[in-house]
Chains A and B, each alone.
Chain A
Amino acid sequence: MNFMQLFGRKSKSSTIAKQRLKLVITQDRFDVDEQLVTRLTHDLAEVLAKYFEFSMNSVQMSLKKAQDGNSYILVADFPYKKATKHPSIKG
């Protein structure tokens, strides 16, 4: 929970509902244990953090149905603030 959420104007409950739904449905669609999305997000963040600066609070993962209705598209939103100064790939 960030500063704005704690002390700013309260978000609409419908907006919160939509965010929460997107997350649970993504987990349901993966059809695996609930922690998978959390672990995947964490692992992706670890890699991306080498190149970009972003806040973990703003990260969103979702699984959308593809047009054909049979496959899914994994969408990972990592809104970044700026590129990390000295990107380096650790060995």
Chain B
Amino acid sequence: MGKVIVVTSGKGGVGKTTSTANLGTALALIGKTVAVVDADVGLRNLDVVMGLESRIIYTSMDVIEKQCELQKALVRDRRVEGLMLLAASQKNDKDDIQPEQMKSICQRLTVNYDFVLVDSPAGIERGFQNAAAGAEEAIIVTTPDVSAIRDADRIIGLLQNARVEPINLVLNRFSPDLVKSGNMLDKSDVLDILNIELLGIIPEDEAVIASTNRGIPLVHSTSSSAAQAYMRIARRLSGQQIPIPDLHAKNFFSGIMEWFSRKR
């Protein structure tokens, strides 16, 4: 039996979909079977971030309305063994789905998949409740800014009340240079405030945007530091003990090295 993990944040645009796509792909790359589920009904994006948009025929709505078998609605990612996507309906509204229906879909997926990752919409309303309904565990994605952390704290409270456990943190768009200049909260500040376990830190990285443009999840190539960070998180999720390295600010030497190694 696999486990259901909801990827959520409260605030929008902090990297939930990017994280779901990359963690799903990374888990498959290390040999796990994975189903990623888009729960952002009406504003689906996981399919485009993963580059699978042209192959969506059925959605979770068709499964709920019994138009299609669950297994048939899953789209296979041909680039890696064991990775499937269940898309969200774009025509429907978040209120068209009941939490119980999402829960049932997630539970059925755990029969065949080691990991079921649910990409939650922003907010604390129905869309989030649907996404979290079937989740045993949660990954909170936040960026190191005041409004994202505040919203993350609200979501953590709601998930704790719903007995979701563990709730782990992915700190996204982290910039050691900004921390050094005193303009970004450090890892320890965020953990001190939110008081949950850290799963990993993803640096601010242009490679994220380039990979979204191409529709190829970052982790298919390990050249970027964000891809390496996602691979480490996937290993941690699969139970391996991997240390979380501190990201350091650029110094003169590393700045020069980066300049030389940059693709031109």
Contact = CB atoms under 8 A, between A and B. Distances in A.
Interface of A: 12-15, 17-18, 20-22, 24-25, 28-29, 64-65, 69-70
Contact of A13 (B157, B182, B193): B182
B238 interface: no
A13 B183 contact: yes
B248 interface: no
Interface string B164-185: 0000000000000001001111
Given A21-B150, A28-B150, A64-B195, A69 B185 contact: no
Contacts of B182: 12-15
A75 B179 CA distance: 27
B146 A14 contact: no
A14 B192 CA distance: 14
B185 A25 contact: no
Interface size class of B (residues with CB under 8 A): 10 to 19
B193 A24 contact: no
Interface of B: 145-146, 149-150, 153-154, 157, 160, 179, 182-186, 189, 192-193, 195
Secondary structure type dominating chain A contacts: helix
A69 B160 contact: yes
A65 B159 CA distance: 14
Contacts, number: 42
A25 B195 contact: no
Contacts of A13: 182-183
B179 A14 contact: yes
Nearest to A10: B182
B150 A24 contact: yes
A68 to B, nearest CB: 10
29 contacts: A12-B183, A13-B183, A14-B179, A14-B182, A14-B184, A14-B189, A17-B145, A17-B146, A18-B185, A18-B189, A18-B193, A20-B146, A21-B146, A21-B149, A21-B185, A21-B193, A24-B150, A25-B149, A25-B150, A25-B153, A25-B193, A28-B150, A28-B153, A28-B154, A29-B157, A64-B195, A65-B195, A69-B160, A70-B160
